[in-house]
Amino acid sequence: MSDIKKVVLAYSGGLDTSVILKWLEETYDCEVVTFTADVGQGEEIEPAREKAHAMGVKEVYIESLK
C-alpha cells in the first residue's frame, strides 16, 4: 500500500492509542514503535510499557520530561 516501514506512535497505553497501534500495523503493514512521555503521571507508565510489549511492540521508549 505504501513505502512506510516504521511509524512512531505517541502511546499512552489507553484504549485509543492501543486501537490506533493495531490499525497502523494492519493498514500500513509496518512496524510500530511506541513513545511515552513521563510527565509525572506516576504509576501509569509501567502498565503502558507492559501493554505495548504484550501487543507485540519491539521498540518501546519511555522518557522523563519532568
Report all structural domains of the chain as residue ranges with CATH numbers, in order of start. 6-64 (3.40.50.620)
Whether the pLDDT of residue 42 is over 90: the answer is no
Residue 58 and residue 31 in contact, taking contact as beta carbons nearer than 8 Å:
yes
Q: Which three cell numbers stand for residue 58?
A: 519491539
What is the spatial distance between Cα 33 and Cα 17, in angstroms, rounded to a whole number? Answer: 12
For residue 59, which amino acid is it? E
| Percentage with pLDDT > 90 across the chain | 88
- pTM of the predicted protein model: 0.89
Whether the pLDDT of residue 25 is over 90: the answer is yes
Average pLDDT, whole number, for the chain? 94
- Pick the residue with more confidence: 44 or 59? 59
- Pick the residue with more confidence: 51 or 42? 51
